[in-house]
Amino acid sequence: MTTSDKEYFDARFNGLDNKVDSTVGESRMALEAKIDSRFNELRAELHKTTAGTVKWCAGIVATALLLYTTLVAFLMNNAVPRANQATAAPAPTVIVVPQASLTQHAHEHPAAAQ
């Protein structure tokens, strides 16, 4: 190989190297842009899913607390007897004495009638 052949092949390979580098560089930038775009889409979807999950969890916890409070209040009002309930006074007993027996008693015991 002569010097001119070597220079010819060096020049030719440098040209191919530059062409391959530019093609690979453009392809790489396009691929990185596509990957970045897809990551941004996934990031937005993940954020939306996380927000939905937090919303549902908060709703479930709030509902569970409400049901628990309602159940405890119901059980406390109905299952446990109340100690300080006021009992109604019994009806008074009325004894009816016939009038005739009072007059007979007064005649038999005159001191008791006065």
In the chain, domain spans:
3-85
Q: What is the spatial distance between Cα 54 and Cα 60, in angstroms, rounded to a whole number?
A: 10
- Report the pLDDT value the prediction gives residue 72, as an integer from 0 to 100: 93
Residue 114 has pLDDT above 60, yes or no: no
Q: What is the mean pLDDT of residues 9-29?
A: 82
- Report the pLDDT value the prediction gives residue 32, as an integer from 0 to 100: 92
CA atoms within 13 A of residue 43's CA, in its CB half-sphere: 6
Tell me the per-residue pLDDT of 73-84, one tens digit each, with 9 for 90 and over: 998 888 866 666
Q: What is the mean pLDDT of residues 58-73?
A: 97
Q: What is the spatial distance between Cα 5 and Cα 85, in angstroms, rounded to a whole number?
A: 117
| Burial class for 88, CB neighbours closer than 10 Å (0-12, 13-18, 19+) | exposed
Tell me the per-residue pLDDT of 29-38, one tens digit each, with 9 for 90 and over: 889 999 999 9
Cβ proximity of 9 and 15 under 8 Å? no
